[in-house]
Amino acid sequence: MSGLLRLTIVLLLLAGARPGWADPPPLSEESATCVACHETFQPGLVTDWQRSRHASTTPAAGLAKPVLQRRISATAVPAAQRDVAVGCYECHGALPDAGADRFEHFGTVIHTVVTPRDCAGCHPTEVTEYDGSKKAHAVGNLDQNPVYHGLVNTVLAPQTLRDGALQSTPPSAATRAATCFACHGTTVEVTGKRTVPHELGDFELPVLSGWPNQGVGRINPDGSRGSCSSCHARHRFDLAVARSPETCSECHLEPDTPAWEVYRESKHGNLWFVNQASQVRDAVPWRPGPDFQYPTCATCHNSLLVGPDDTVLAPRSHDFGARLWVRLFGLPYAHPQPRSGATHTIRNAAGQPLPTTLDNQPASEHLIDAATAASRQATMTKVCSACHSSTWSQGHFAKLDQTIAETNQLTLAATQLLQLGYARGRADPTNLFDESIERAWVRQWMFYANSTRYGAAMCGQDYSTFKNGWFQLGSNLLAMQDWLRDGKAKAEE
């Protein structure tokens, strides 16, 4: 029985890492007031928060942990927040003068949209890392890049038939928000006020444009960029959620960025999904071996991984490109990662806001150099090494390099077919996206080349072969050649 007791204590300690078991810390007076009403009106939301680590610990307790175990990167937290749970008011009110969306609500000034600026009170390092990343600039990288702005505006334009021809009008804000900018992020602005009738007394709320939205590059009413809840959803902010592949899958999906599908079909995904109940998903640091044996997206791309004897295999980063040396998707050609997350500032040799010219000459001064690339690949190889030999990793990366070279070549062939068509008057280069043959060209790189590269990078061979892979790359080229040759058949699939 003493063995049982010992076992029970061990189990309780194990269970203890899980929030909710210990006595919860006190709430600030403001947060207690919020909960008192909202647990009746939004019971799902409030329970979600109550089961969070935010509800079950305090910043002071976080600061007292050894550095490797800390989930808080601030070295100090204001006194008012230090010894209370991280409650409603701490996030929705602690910086009451920050955003234009603040309003008075039953005696307290709060704001609807919690932004990275709010989170930075306890997590400044993460916010800073993120702010320099491509994700943080995801709005500008579409809207301020004339090529991508043209793509968005052409694809999302409502069309009507006039005199037998299609005519376009500009995209609506609602459609932008329901499509591209659902992932990239909207611009959230206060456009007015409205009165909400309520049994406890009518109250006013700001009217927000571009809301709701949790796009990764959201422009917030306080001017900050990003939405931590893109990944740390929703009021539980559970690390287990952020580290689960389902979270990344909200945006990284076929046909343009099939990271989810490729991962799911890979051996990594296979083993994760079969064994996920036995994988510890919320430990900090995260230890390959004791905590988990099978990786998720976060394992390879951004989590702090620690080996035996506390050796850091890979540091945490909230710039999700920090371990990547090549950029596989989103542009006609794979190319070295950009130096700045604000990719719309790039200019290539042809003056276009693209990291390569249309015949694949890289804008090298805007891209990382070979030494940086090698250093990032070395970090990634260290992640691989938790389970794989160097023979394995080297063989894998060699395959990927070849795939990158060949898919770039197949995009170049498609581009040249299109350009020949322009030269022969078969198509009009004014708008790159508003003719059938141009859509075929877009499919070549945005769907087929991207998919083929993802498949090679993460071992999802279906996506390199028959599912938007080599079969489609080749069929599309044949169709584009048919179009060029006789002007009769048109490009397809």
Q: Which of residues 251-280 bind its own copies (CB under 8 A)?
A: 251, 253-256, 260, 264-267, 269-271, 273-275, 277-278, 280
Do the Cβ atoms of 34 and 89 come closer than 8 Å? Answer: yes
User: Which is nearer to its own copies, 125 or 249 (by Cβ)?
Assistant: 249
Site string for its own copies, 337-366 (x = CB under 8 A): ------------------------------
What would the two tokens of residue 192 be? 């007015």
Residue 260's closest CA among 274, 271, 246? 246
Do the Cβ atoms of 479 and 491 come closer than 8 Å? Answer: yes
DSSP state letter for 339: S
Binding its own copies (rule: CB under 8 A), the pick from 58, 141, 403, 451 is 403
User: Which is nearer to its own copies, 325 or 454 (by Cβ)?
Assistant: 454
- Decide: is 156 part of the binding site for its own copies (CB under 8 A): yes
CB environment 85-113: b (16+ within 10 A), e (fewer): bbbbbbbbbbbeebbbbbbebeebebbbb
Q: How far is the CB of 145 from its own copies (least distance, A)?
A: 17
Binding its own copies (rule: CB under 8 A), the pick from 68, 207, 312, 374 is 207
User: Which is nearer to its own copies, 275 or 375 (by Cβ)?
Assistant: 275
Segment 108-147, which members bind its own copies (CB under 8 A)?
112
Question: What is the C-alpha separation between 303 and 297, in angstroms, rounded?
Answer: 9
Give the number of other CB atoms < 10 A from CB of residue 131.
19
- Decide: is 200 part of the binding site for its own copies (CB under 8 A): no
Q: How far is the CB of 477 from its own copies (least distance, A)?
A: 6
Give the number of other CB atoms < 10 A from CB of residue 250.
15
Segment 1-40, which members bind its own copies (CB under 8 A)?
1-8, 10-12, 14-16, 18, 20-21, 39-40
Binding span for its own copies by CB under 8 A among 41-49, 220-228, 339-347, 370-378: 41-49
Q: How far is the CB of 404 from its own copies (least distance, A)?
A: 10
User: Which is nearer to its own copies, 130 or 470 (by Cβ)?
Assistant: 470
Task: For residue 168, list its beta bridge partners.
Answer: 159
Question: What is the C-alpha separation between 469 and 262, in angstroms, rounded?
Answer: 12
Residue 324's closest CA among 366, 256, 374? 374
Q: How far is the CB of 53 from its own copies (least distance, A)?
A: 14
Binding span for its own copies by CB under 8 A among 54-62, 77-85, 142-150, 384-392: 384-392
What is the rounded (10 degree) CA torsion for 230, 234, 240, 243?
A: 0
Binding its own copies (rule: CB under 8 A), the pick from 104, 170, 172, 340 is 172
Binding its own copies (rule: CB under 8 A), the pick from 161, 192, 195, 351 is 161
- Decide: is 469 part of the binding site for its own copies (CB under 8 A): yes
Segment 406-465, which members bind its own copies (CB under 8 A)?
406, 409-410, 412-413, 416-417, 420, 434-436, 439, 446-447, 455-456, 459, 461-462, 464-465
Q: How far is the CB of 464 from its own copies (least distance, A)?
A: 5
Do the Cβ atoms of 87 and 55 come closer than 8 Å? Answer: yes
Do the Cβ atoms of 72 and 122 come closer than 8 Å? Answer: yes
* Strands 165-168, 159-162: pairing kind: antiparallel
CB contact set of 243 (below 8 Å; sequence gap of 6+): 281, 282, 286, 296, 297, 298, 299, 303
- Decide: is 189 part of the binding site for its own copies (CB under 8 A): no
Q: How far is the CB of 280 from its own copies (least distance, A)?
A: 8
How many of the chain's residues bind its own copies (CB under 8 A)?
Answer: 154
List phi, psi (to 5°) of 277.
-65, -25
Binding span for its own copies by CB under 8 A among 153-161, 319-327, 328-336, 338-346: 153-161
User: Which is nearer to its own copies, 104 or 365 (by Cβ)?
Assistant: 104
DSSP letters of 405-437? Answer: HHHHHHHHHHHHHHHHHHHTTSS-TTSTTSSHH
Task: For residue 108, list its beta bridge partners.
Answer: 105
Segment 218-257, which members bind its own copies (CB under 8 A)?
233-234, 236, 238, 240-241, 244, 246-247, 249-251, 253-256
Binding its own copies (rule: CB under 8 A), the pick from 67, 76, 79, 174 is 174
